[in-house]
Amino acid sequence: MWPPPGLGNVFTMKKSAVLLFCCILCALATKTHAQVVASATRSPLSLSVGGMGSLFQPDYAGTGVPAQAPNRLYGVGTYVDLRIRHWVQLEAEGRWLRFNQYENIYEDNYLIGPRVPIHETRRYKPYAKALFGYGKMNFQYNYAYGHFADIALGGGVDVPLTRKITLRAINFEYQLWPNWLNGTLKPYGGDVGISYKIF
Interacting residues with another protein (CB under 8 A):
9, 12-13, 16-17, 19-20, 23-24, 26-27, 30-31, 33-46, 83, 86, 116-122, 125, 128, 130, 151, 153, 160, 163, 176, 178
What span, in angstroms and rounded, lies between the C-alpha atoms of 106 and 7?
38
In the complex with another protein, the residue whose CB is nearer, 65 or 118, is 118
Residue of 156, 140, 80 lying closest to 107 (CA atoms) = 140
**Shortest spacing between CB 15 and another protein, in angstroms:** 9
In the complex with another protein, the residue whose CB is nearer, 1 or 40, is 40
**Shortest spacing between CB 83 and another protein, in angstroms:** 8
**Shortest spacing between CB 20 and another protein, in angstroms:** 5
The angle at the Cα of 159, spanning 21 to 36, to the nearest 5 degrees, equals 55
| Contact status, residue 84 vs residue 164, Cβ threshold 8 Å | no
**Shortest spacing between CB 58 and another protein, in angstroms:** 20
Cis peptide leading into residue 70 (ω within 30°): no
- Residues ≥6 apart with Cβ < 8 Å to 170: 156, 157, 190, 191, 192
**Shortest spacing between CB 94 and another protein, in angstroms:** 22
In the complex with another protein, the residue whose CB is nearer, 67 or 130, is 130
Give the other-Cβ count within 10 Å of 169's Cβ. Answer: 15
| Contact status, residue 153 vs residue 122, Cβ threshold 8 Å | no
**Shortest spacing between CB 84 and another protein, in angstroms:** 9
In the complex with another protein, the residue whose CB is nearer, 7 or 20, is 20
Question: Residue type for 162, please?
Answer: T
In the complex with another protein, the residue whose CB is nearer, 121 or 182, is 121
In the complex with another protein, the residue whose CB is nearer, 67 or 176, is 176
What span, in angstroms and rounded, lies between the C-alpha atoms of 174 and 171?
10
